[in-house]
Amino acid sequence: MTILLYNTWILRFSAWWHWTFWFTKKEDNLVQAQREDNTILSGSRVAADEQFTAQVEQLLSLGYPTMANMTEGVFLDKIEPLRRIFELGSIIVIPEEVVTFAFQLEAVGGRVVSHHRAWTHGDSIEMPDVPFISAEVDDGRGYHDKSPLACMKHFQTNDRFGLSVIEGIALVTHRPKTLRNHHCVDLPGSYCGRDLHAPQLRHWGELILDNRFNWSPLPTSGSASCRARLAP
Protein backbone atom coordinates (compact mmCIF):
# COMPACT_ATOMS: atom_id res chain seq x y z
CA MET A 1 0.00 0.00 0.00
CA THR A 2 2.84 2.36 0.90
CA ILE A 3 4.54 1.59 -2.41
CA LEU A 4 1.32 2.23 -4.31
CA LEU A 5 0.82 5.60 -2.60
CA TYR A 6 4.43 6.52 -3.27
CA ASN A 7 4.12 5.65 -6.96
CA THR A 8 0.90 7.65 -7.21
CA TRP A 9 2.60 10.66 -5.62
CA ILE A 10 5.55 10.33 -8.02
CA LEU A 11 3.20 10.23 -11.02
CA ARG A 12 1.29 13.29 -9.82
CA PHE A 13 4.47 15.20 -9.11
CA SER A 14 5.86 14.28 -12.53
CA ALA A 15 2.67 15.40 -14.25
CA TRP A 16 2.67 18.69 -12.27
CA TRP A 17 6.33 19.34 -13.08
CA HIS A 18 5.86 18.69 -16.79
CA TRP A 19 2.76 20.89 -16.91
CA THR A 20 4.51 23.69 -15.01
CA PHE A 21 7.57 23.43 -17.27
CA TRP A 22 5.42 23.50 -20.44
CA PHE A 23 3.32 26.43 -19.21
CA THR A 24 6.36 28.45 -18.14
CA LYS A 25 8.11 27.79 -21.44
CA LYS A 26 5.01 28.78 -23.38
CA GLU A 27 4.68 31.95 -21.33
CA ASP A 28 8.34 32.76 -21.94
CA ASN A 29 7.83 32.22 -25.68
CA LEU A 30 4.83 34.55 -25.66
CA VAL A 31 6.81 37.23 -23.82
CA GLN A 32 9.70 36.86 -26.27
CA ALA A 33 7.32 37.05 -29.25
CA GLN A 34 5.74 40.19 -27.78
CA ARG A 35 9.17 41.75 -27.33
CA GLU A 36 10.06 40.94 -30.93
CA ASP A 37 6.77 42.41 -32.15
CA ASN A 38 7.37 45.56 -30.11
CA THR A 39 10.88 45.81 -31.54
CA ILE A 40 9.55 45.51 -35.09
CA LEU A 41 6.83 48.08 -34.44
CA SER A 42 9.33 50.41 -32.81
CA GLY A 43 11.70 50.01 -35.78
CA SER A 44 8.88 50.70 -38.26
CA ARG A 45 7.84 53.79 -36.33
CA VAL A 46 11.40 55.11 -36.31
CA ALA A 47 11.74 54.45 -40.06
CA ALA A 48 8.41 56.16 -40.75
CA ASP A 49 9.44 59.15 -38.64
CA GLU A 50 12.72 59.43 -40.56
CA GLN A 51 10.88 59.22 -43.89
CA PHE A 52 8.44 61.91 -42.77
CA THR A 53 11.27 64.20 -41.67
CA ALA A 54 13.04 63.73 -45.02
CA GLN A 55 9.88 64.70 -46.90
CA VAL A 56 9.36 67.79 -44.76
CA GLU A 57 12.96 68.83 -45.41
CA GLN A 58 12.39 68.36 -49.14
CA LEU A 59 9.37 70.68 -49.04
CA LEU A 60 11.36 73.29 -47.13
CA SER A 61 14.30 73.06 -49.53
CA LEU A 62 11.96 73.66 -52.48
CA GLY A 63 10.55 76.81 -50.91
CA TYR A 64 7.02 75.62 -50.08
CA PRO A 65 6.53 78.09 -47.20
CA THR A 66 7.28 80.99 -49.55
CA MET A 67 4.97 79.58 -52.25
CA ALA A 68 2.24 79.26 -49.61
CA ASN A 69 2.84 82.85 -48.43
CA MET A 70 3.68 81.56 -44.95
CA THR A 71 6.60 81.76 -42.61
CA GLU A 72 8.49 78.51 -42.17
CA GLY A 73 7.14 78.20 -38.63
CA VAL A 74 3.49 78.55 -39.71
CA PHE A 75 4.03 76.08 -42.56
CA LEU A 76 5.56 73.52 -40.18
CA ASP A 77 2.67 73.98 -37.76
CA LYS A 78 0.34 72.82 -40.54
CA ILE A 79 2.55 69.85 -41.50
CA GLU A 80 3.68 68.51 -38.14
CA PRO A 81 0.27 67.03 -37.08
CA LEU A 82 0.64 64.60 -40.01
CA ARG A 83 3.64 62.93 -38.36
CA ARG A 84 1.54 60.78 -36.03
CA ILE A 85 -0.51 59.30 -38.90
CA PHE A 86 2.36 58.94 -41.37
CA GLU A 87 3.16 55.37 -42.44
CA LEU A 88 6.04 53.92 -44.41
CA GLY A 89 5.34 54.17 -48.13
CA SER A 90 3.23 57.31 -47.73
CA ILE A 91 3.74 60.81 -49.14
CA ILE A 92 2.95 64.27 -47.82
CA VAL A 93 0.59 66.12 -50.17
CA ILE A 94 0.11 69.88 -50.22
CA PRO A 95 -3.30 70.66 -51.75
CA GLU A 96 -3.86 73.29 -54.41
CA GLU A 97 -5.68 75.45 -51.85
CA VAL A 98 -2.33 75.91 -50.10
CA VAL A 99 0.12 75.88 -53.06
CA THR A 100 -1.09 75.75 -56.68
CA PHE A 101 -0.13 72.70 -58.73
CA ALA A 102 1.69 74.98 -61.21
CA PHE A 103 4.05 76.25 -58.48
CA GLN A 104 4.58 72.72 -57.17
CA LEU A 105 5.38 71.41 -60.64
CA GLU A 106 7.81 74.24 -61.35
CA ALA A 107 9.56 73.58 -58.03
CA VAL A 108 10.72 70.18 -59.34
CA GLY A 109 11.60 71.49 -62.80
CA GLY A 110 8.40 70.42 -64.54
CA ARG A 111 6.06 72.11 -66.98
CA VAL A 112 2.62 71.58 -68.48
CA VAL A 113 2.48 70.83 -72.21
CA SER A 114 -1.20 69.95 -72.56
CA HIS A 115 -3.68 72.51 -73.80
CA HIS A 116 -6.11 70.99 -71.24
CA ARG A 117 -5.01 72.56 -67.97
CA ALA A 118 -8.21 72.41 -65.95
CA TRP A 119 -8.24 69.01 -64.25
CA THR A 120 -11.19 67.80 -62.23
CA HIS A 121 -11.15 65.20 -59.50
CA GLY A 122 -13.27 62.12 -60.05
CA ASP A 123 -16.86 62.41 -58.80
CA SER A 124 -16.27 59.89 -56.00
CA ILE A 125 -12.97 61.43 -54.87
CA GLU A 126 -12.90 63.70 -51.85
CA MET A 127 -9.68 65.65 -51.61
CA PRO A 128 -8.72 67.38 -48.35
CA ASP A 129 -8.14 71.12 -48.61
CA VAL A 130 -5.39 70.99 -45.96
CA PRO A 131 -2.03 69.16 -46.08
CA PHE A 132 -2.67 65.41 -45.97
CA ILE A 133 -1.10 61.99 -46.32
CA SER A 134 -1.57 59.64 -49.27
CA ALA A 135 -0.97 56.25 -47.70
CA GLU A 136 0.67 53.18 -49.28
CA VAL A 137 1.38 54.88 -52.58
CA ASP A 138 2.10 52.66 -55.59
CA ASP A 139 3.76 54.35 -58.58
CA GLY A 140 1.89 52.25 -61.19
CA ARG A 141 4.92 50.43 -62.52
CA GLY A 142 3.02 47.15 -62.24
CA TYR A 143 0.17 48.46 -64.42
CA HIS A 144 1.92 48.96 -67.74
CA ASP A 145 -0.21 48.02 -70.75
CA LYS A 146 -3.40 48.78 -68.78
CA SER A 147 -5.54 51.82 -69.54
CA PRO A 148 -6.37 54.35 -66.79
CA LEU A 149 -10.04 53.33 -67.08
CA ALA A 150 -9.21 49.65 -66.55
CA CYS A 151 -6.94 50.53 -63.63
CA MET A 152 -9.65 52.62 -61.96
CA LYS A 153 -12.08 49.70 -62.11
CA HIS A 154 -9.40 47.49 -60.56
CA PHE A 155 -8.69 50.05 -57.82
CA GLN A 156 -12.37 50.40 -56.96
CA THR A 157 -12.73 46.66 -56.38
CA ASN A 158 -9.56 46.58 -54.26
CA ASP A 159 -10.25 49.56 -51.98
CA ARG A 160 -7.63 51.80 -53.58
CA PHE A 161 -7.76 55.23 -55.20
CA GLY A 162 -6.19 56.53 -58.38
CA LEU A 163 -3.80 59.38 -57.68
CA SER A 164 -4.83 62.90 -58.64
CA VAL A 165 -2.65 65.50 -60.37
CA ILE A 166 -1.59 67.11 -57.09
CA GLU A 167 -0.73 63.71 -55.61
CA GLY A 168 1.27 62.81 -58.70
CA ILE A 169 3.35 65.95 -58.32
CA ALA A 170 3.87 65.08 -54.64
CA LEU A 171 4.97 61.59 -55.72
CA VAL A 172 7.77 62.83 -57.98
CA THR A 173 8.67 65.50 -55.42
CA HIS A 174 9.34 62.94 -52.69
CA ARG A 175 10.45 60.09 -54.97
CA PRO A 176 12.49 61.71 -57.75
CA LYS A 177 13.48 58.34 -59.23
CA THR A 178 9.87 57.38 -59.99
CA LEU A 179 10.05 58.30 -63.68
CA ARG A 180 13.36 56.61 -64.44
CA ASN A 181 13.70 53.88 -67.07
CA HIS A 182 11.00 55.44 -69.28
CA HIS A 183 8.24 54.83 -66.74
CA CYS A 184 5.28 57.20 -67.19
CA VAL A 185 2.76 57.75 -64.39
CA ASP A 186 -0.94 58.01 -65.21
CA LEU A 187 -3.07 59.89 -62.67
CA PRO A 188 -6.62 58.58 -63.10
CA GLY A 189 -7.88 60.30 -59.95
CA SER A 190 -8.16 63.44 -62.09
CA TYR A 191 -9.52 63.96 -65.58
CA CYS A 192 -10.20 66.65 -68.14
CA GLY A 193 -11.99 67.00 -71.44
CA ARG A 194 -15.30 65.44 -70.34
CA ASP A 195 -13.59 62.45 -68.76
CA LEU A 196 -11.85 61.50 -72.02
CA HIS A 197 -8.33 62.30 -70.90
CA ALA A 198 -6.25 61.29 -67.90
CA PRO A 199 -3.25 63.40 -66.81
CA GLN A 200 0.16 61.82 -67.14
CA LEU A 201 3.62 62.61 -65.75
CA ARG A 202 6.68 61.60 -67.75
CA HIS A 203 10.33 62.52 -68.01
CA TRP A 204 11.57 62.91 -71.57
CA GLY A 205 14.58 65.13 -71.09
CA GLU A 206 12.47 67.16 -68.64
CA LEU A 207 9.51 66.59 -66.35
CA ILE A 208 6.28 66.99 -68.29
CA LEU A 209 2.62 67.00 -67.24
CA ASP A 210 0.44 66.07 -70.17
CA ASN A 211 -2.82 64.25 -70.95
CA ARG A 212 -3.59 60.95 -72.67
CA PHE A 213 -6.72 59.11 -73.71
CA ASN A 214 -7.96 57.24 -70.67
CA TRP A 215 -9.11 54.12 -72.55
CA SER A 216 -5.79 53.45 -74.29
CA PRO A 217 -3.17 51.09 -72.75
CA LEU A 218 0.49 52.03 -73.26
CA PRO A 219 3.52 49.75 -72.75
CA THR A 220 5.49 52.20 -70.57
CA SER A 221 2.61 53.86 -68.74
CA GLY A 222 0.88 52.73 -65.55
CA SER A 223 -1.66 54.23 -63.15
CA ALA A 224 -0.52 55.29 -59.67
CA SER A 225 -2.71 54.70 -56.64
CA CYS A 226 -2.95 54.94 -52.86
CA ARG A 227 -4.78 53.07 -50.11
CA ALA A 228 -6.20 56.12 -48.35
CA ARG A 229 -6.02 59.87 -47.87
CA LEU A 230 -5.43 60.83 -44.25
CA ALA A 231 -5.79 64.26 -42.68
CA PRO A 232 -5.45 65.19 -38.99
Does residue 112 have a pLDDT over 90?
no
Does residue 76 have a pLDDT over 70?
yes
Distance, in Å, from the CA atom of 76 to the CA atom of 112, rounded to the nearest integer, reads 29
Segments making up each domain of the chain, as ranges: 90-230
Distance, in Å, from the CA atom of 216 to the CA atom of 218, rounded to the nearest integer, reads 7
Predicted local confidence at residue 28, as pLDDT? 52
Mean pLDDT of 120-133: 81
Predicted local confidence at residue 217, as pLDDT? 95
In the chain, pLDDT over 70 holds for what percent of residues? 76
Tell me the CA end-to-end span of the chain in Å, nearest whole number.
76
Render pLDDT for 57-72 as a digit per residue (tens, 0 to 9). 999 999 999 999 999 9
Does residue 42 have a pLDDT over 50?
yes
Does residue 149 have a pLDDT over 70?
yes
Render pLDDT for 8-38 as a digit per residue (tens, 0 to 9). 555 454 555 454 545 455 455 544 545 444 4
Average pLDDT, the chain: 84
Beta pairing partners, 200:
186, 210
Give exposure, 215-226, as e/b (b: 16+ Cβ within 10 Å): eebbeebbbbbb
- 4-8, 74-78, 83-87, 205-209: range with lowest mean pLDDT: 4-8
In the chain, pLDDT over 90 holds for what percent of residues? 65
- Considering only residues 44 and 16, tell me which one the structure prediction assigns the higher pLDDT: 44
pLDDT tier at 101 (50, 70, 90 boundaries)?
confident
Predicted local confidence at residue 192, as pLDDT? 78
pLDDT tier at 204 (50, 70, 90 boundaries)?
confident
Predicted local confidence at residue 124, as pLDDT? 62
pTM score over 0.85 = no
- Alpha carbon dihedral 232, 71, 100, 202, in 10-degree steps, equals -90
User: Would you call 96 helix, strand, or coil by DSSP?
Assistant: coil
Does residue 119 have a pLDDT over 90?
no
